[in-house]
A and B are shown apart, each in its own frame.
Chain A
């Protein structure tokens, strides 16, 4: 079969059109939710990592991926089966959010944790509006499972931050 790599490229391009319904400015690739895309003669397999396990957006995201990929690959090979699966292995961490993703979150008033954050370490977050480090945590738990609520003492704006999620068993390069 020809054009496998082109098809793969197309699939990634399509996945960039799938956004988080609770943060519609960031797509699932930028969020680091796409773990694997596998294509063989009969099937396209897409493995996604859920951000938080109880996130109600997961089913919507899965449905959206399925619909958009189906639409897209019809042009290539309508007989291809499409399977979209959520997996907990490896666990999603905030480290997986891309630089572009971090920039988009910041533009929308959501700070991202340091990509090297480890559990138990202090949490350094800058205000997404004025970059001040003089901020106060108001509530670790925010409007969605993945976000916290903070306040900037410098520019007096409330803002949100992606809750740092680190894999407790990740090998640390020293």
Chain B
């Protein structure tokens, strides 16, 4: 593997794993979303998002990183490059047993991620690695509707009752403390942006802040400073127990019966 390929793979792992775990956390809401139309919409969004992860895993497969199935089901948690905030559980309990999931947290996490994803895709459109240009264009056609969806939830809840506003503001503070991990390009960030695979971390951050503040302005909310990375940097393999338990559930069938995968 050439040195350039190493950095190309590094970036694509980050893109793949972010979408993969984010889609999984979203899918745990199936049957639990606030109302039936949201169940339909959110499932569709999660299905698209898993499709995006799959597109990135396919790029990694062509780079010789292993098959899509191995990449998604057979890596150790420490090999995952997703940001920590995206792996965090939706709340206490599990989807099978007393799920006390937090909708405000989900809306904020999806909105923040959606805005960054849009910026990343715009940047990937200019990538020096051509396959990323094709995948980003395809993903943009779908992402457009996702972001619209989360903006709608955000605005409505922020302008709803005091209780809703309080929950939303708490969720903003919580996600803000760790969202820096999503913006991060990890320890090879400089090499990745020097190769013009994607814009630099600083550029991504300032554009994200600009767009988020614009959205905040519309509902009379403001926040100071940059988003943090309190729990560590997932890009460098730092993760929480939440990732381990999520991967165990995700890969249960794969590990219990390898033949089932080729069914």
Contacts and interface: CB of A to CB of B under 8 A. Distances in A.
Interface string B139-152: 11110110011000
B37 A167 contact: no
B137 A88 contact: yes
B44 A145 contact: yes
A114 to B, nearest CB: 16
B41 A140 contact: yes
B47 A54 contact: yes
Given A54-B51, A141-B45, A163 B137 contact: no
Size range of the chain A interface in the assembly: 20 to 34
Contacts of B149: 140-141
Interface string A157-172: 0000001011111000
B49 A88 contact: no
A74 interface: no
A24 interface: no
B238 interface: no
Contacts of B45: 141
B54 interface: yes
A93 B141 contact: yes
Interface in B14-41: 37, 40-41
B137 A142 contact: no
Contacts of B142: 52-53, 145, 165
B90 interface: no
A146 to B, nearest CB: 9
B37 A145 contact: no
A125 to B, nearest CB: 15
Nearest to A170: B137
B138 A54 contact: no
Nearest to B52: A53
B37 A138 contact: yes
A141 B41 contact: yes
A89 B54 contact: no
A61 to B, nearest CB: 14
B108 to A, nearest CB: 20
A67 to B, nearest CB: 17
Contacts of B183: none
B89 to A, nearest CB: 23
B55 A141 contact: no
A88 B55 contact: yes
B68 to A, nearest CB: 12
Contact of A52 (B48, B125, B135, B140): B48
Ordered nearest first, which 8 A-B pairs have the shortest CB separation? A54-B51, A53-B51, A141-B41, A141-B44, A88-B138, A89-B134, A54-B47, A91-B138
10 contacts: A54-B47, A55-B51, A88-B55, A89-B137, A140-B148, A141-B42, A145-B51, A167-B141, A168-B141, A168-B144
